Structures are given as C-alpha cells and as structure tokens.
Amino acid sequence: MPMPTEPMLYKSVLRPLLFRGDAEKTHEQTLAMLSRMAFLERALANLYTVEDGRLETSVGPLKLKNPVGLAAGFDKNGVAIRTWPGFGFGFIEIGAVTAQAQPGQPKPRLFRLPEDQALINRLGFNNEGAEAIGVKLKALRSERPLRIPLGVNIGRTKIVATKDAAADYLFTFETLFPYGDYFTLNVSSPNTPELRDLQQKGHLANLLATIQAKNRELAAASHIPEKPVFVKIDPDMDFAQANEVVAVAKAERIAGIVATNASAVLRENLSKPVDQPGGLSGKPLKARATDFIRHVYRATGGALPIIGAGGIFTAEDAYEKIRAGASAVQILTGFVYEGPGAVKRINRGLLNLIERDGLKSIGEAVGKGV
C-alpha cells in the first residue's frame, strides 16, 4: 500500500475533524495551538520552507525570500507570529487591528462552503485593539529578530464616523509604527459599516496624506526609512473607481496595492444559493481578484507594486496572479482548505512553472500575462 502523502492525510483525516466543529471555534482552537508551537519553528521550517534564490522577490522596498504570504484576518491579534514562518511563508500580515478593542459582530459569523472551497465571514474586526497588540509586538521585537517581514493590517474602529476615520487609523499606525515592517490600510472589508466609503477619492486622499505625513515624521525622528504603506482594495468596485484609488495612491507615494479583499456581492458562481451577508473568499473569488490585479497593473504600467490575494490554493493559482501583475501573493482560505503544506507546495510548484517558462526568477514572471 502506498504511504499516504501529507495533503492526503490533511484532506482525508485532519480536515474532516477540523471541519466538524463550528468554523470560528475551530479557528480559535487552531490559533491557540499555533501560539504554543513557537518552539517548533525551526523544526517546522525544515519541513516546510523552500529555499531557492529564484523565489526571492521584492514588493517595492520589501525584500522577500519567497512570494507567498499569510493574508490578514487569520491571526488578527498576532498570537502565533513566531510559528507562522515555520510553515514556509515569505511574509505575514496580522490584523486587522483597530484603534479601540472591539468584539466584532454577533456570532455565528464565519461559515464554510466546502463544496465551493470558500468561506463567508462577517467577523467585523474583532481584535484586542492597537495598544494591547502594541505591548505584545514590543515584547516580541525585543526578544530576537523575526525571520520574515511582518505586516500590520489596520482597520477603522466600528463606532468611529467616516469624518474621524483618518485620526482613528493614525492612532493605530503611530502606536504600531516601530513594530511593523509594512502597514496595510484596509479600506475594503465588507463588515464594517461605511468602511468602503474610504475608497472614495476625497476620503482616501485625506487618509493617505495623514498617514504618510506621520510616516515621514516618525521615520525622520528615528533615523530610519519610511515604512512601506499599502492600500487594500475590494473586488466589488468598478474599474473606474479602481483607477481613482490608484491615482490617489500614486499621488501619496503609497508603496503598493493589496488586491483584493473578500467580496460582499459575489454569490452567483456558488454551487447552491447562500444567503449569508459577509465577505466571500476562496475559489469563487479567484477570477475576479485576478481580473482586478490585471487591471491595476495595466492602469499603472506596472509602476505600483501589487500584492495579490483571492482564491489561491495551488502554485498555478499563485502564478496566475503573478503573471497578472502581482509581485507577491497572500493566502488565507487556501491555507484552511489545503493545510500546513500549502505554502511549500505553492513555492515548489512556482519553481517548476518558471523553469517550464524558461525564466530565471519569479520576479521575471510579474506582469508577463498582461
């Protein structure tokens, strides 16, 4: 009898067990376990890291050992930061963090759609708040260096009005500035009322100008370069609005765009009707997110780096996003469905794909399919 492979074990034994319980409870239990596994980072890294110079890439000023990151929302409070690098990620993003601690939406608020390899979430930025997370990150940073870049995803506190949103983001940015290698301004979650209004030109320009002014000030005061700041956009806006977002991002010298967040409206390509409000992620989002990336890449002539997300499960999925213009990618739903070996398989597969296409590095594939 052939030995079962790791993906077989995950999909036929562990995943059915994990998927038996309530989605959010299982998620919390998994995170709690991961938070206690930091001592295994090296052992895990030996199992799961693919080291190969051809995978090295950069997203603006960010230098990555490989292009596969953990998307925001899996580890909102940054409880397993020491463990994540063990799974072979090139970078990780915690959050969304909001200025004030908040409980999020009423439960249940996270749903699996196994037939569609998707999730719907309406968590609503449940997190411990900037100050508490800052204390944690300070302790972490004072121990020893992290092996991969750490991003912090920032959201708006629910009870704060749009007119006060910039100050709310600013508080979190300033509090966490010393600890993040990059920051993502999340103006695209579907689960905080009016959050997406911040993608409108005037609001966005104000937000980005406020954050970038503080970025310059804090960087100068501590004699370090400015931190790369990204803007994360939703897949539901039309391309004309995307063009406006890109124009504002360029004017404010933003490091790049994270495309995309989960979809609030996409439901038509599901195997059966699902009447759950929230953000749809995973396989059914893949094509829409790729179209978005391709559009942003074209609109900027490749001048604005893109981190691509949405429905990446395999190396082919990641390669599709990279060829559409993403310099790096992030996964979340794919990690839930594919298991702990997902990043390794994607990185190995990417090496095969660039070899097939006669490329010397993953960087050479960026935008090749546009």
Ligand X SMILES: Cc1cc2nc3c(=O)[nH]c(=O)nc-3n(C[C@H](O)[C@H](O)[C@H](O)COP(=O)(O)O)c2cc1C
- Residues designated catalytic: 189
Q: Shortest distance, CB of residue 49 to ligand X, whole angstroms?
A: 20
Alpha helices in 10-58 (DSSP H): 15-18, 23-35, 41-48
- Using rule CB under 6 A, residue 67 touches ligand X: no
- Using rule CB under 6 A, residue 284 touches ligand X: no
- Beta strands 256-259 and 110-113, pairing class: unpaired
Q: Shortest distance, CB of residue 70 to ligand X, whole angstroms?
A: 9
CA dist 211 → 140, 170, 216, 230, 241 (Å): 24, 6, 9, 11, 21
Q: Shortest distance, CB of residue 224 to ligand X, whole angstroms?
A: 25
- Using rule CB under 6 A, residue 332 touches ligand X: yes
Give the footprint of ligand X on residues 293-312 (CB under 6 A). Answer: 309-312
- How many residues at the interface with ligand X, by CB under 6 A? 28
- Using rule CB under 6 A, residue 331 touches ligand X: yes
User: How is residue 328 annotated by DSSP?
Assistant: E
**How many other β-carbons are positioned within 10 Å of the β-carbon of residue 140?**
16
Residue 366: which region, alpha, beta or left (left: phi > 0; alpha: psi -120 to 50)?
beta
Altogether, the residues listed in the chain come to a count of 370
Residue nearest to ligand X (CB): 73
Task: State the binding string over 144-173 for ligand X (x if CB under 6 A, else -).
Answer: ---------x--------------------
Identity of residue 190: P
Alpha helices in 113-200 (DSSP H): 130-143, 165-176
What angle do the packed helices 286-300 and 315-323 form, to 10 degrees? 30
- In this chain, which stretch among 70-78, 264-272, 319-327, 358-366 interacts with ligand X, using CB under 6 A? 70-78
Q: Shortest distance, CB of residue 306 to ligand X, whole angstroms?
A: 13
CA dist 43 → 24, 50, 70 (Å): 28, 13, 19
Distance CA 114, CA 263 (A): 17
- Beta strands 110-113 and 118-121, pairing class: antiparallel
Q: Shortest distance, CB of residue 53 to ligand X, whole angstroms?
A: 26
- In this chain, which stretch among 5-13, 49-57, 141-149, 332-340 interacts with ligand X, using CB under 6 A? 332-340
- Using rule CB under 6 A, residue 117 touches ligand X: no
- In this chain, which stretch among 68-76, 157-165, 212-220, 319-327 interacts with ligand X, using CB under 6 A? 68-76
- Using rule CB under 6 A, residue 95 touches ligand X: yes
Residue placing its CB nearer to ligand X in the complex, 98 or 300: 98
List phi, psi (to 5°) of 335: -70, -40
Give yes or no for a contact between 270 and 113, defined as CB atoms under 8 angstroms apart. Answer: yes
Task: State the binding string over 190-229 for ligand X (x if CB under 6 A, else -).
Answer: ----------------------------------------
Residue placing its CB nearer to ligand X in the complex, 134 or 278: 278
Give yes or no for a contact between 225 and 247, defined as CB atoms under 8 angstroms apart. Answer: no
Give the footprint of ligand X on this chain (CB under 6 A): 71-73, 76, 95-96, 110, 119, 121, 123, 125, 153, 186, 189, 232, 261-262, 281-282, 285, 309-312, 331-334
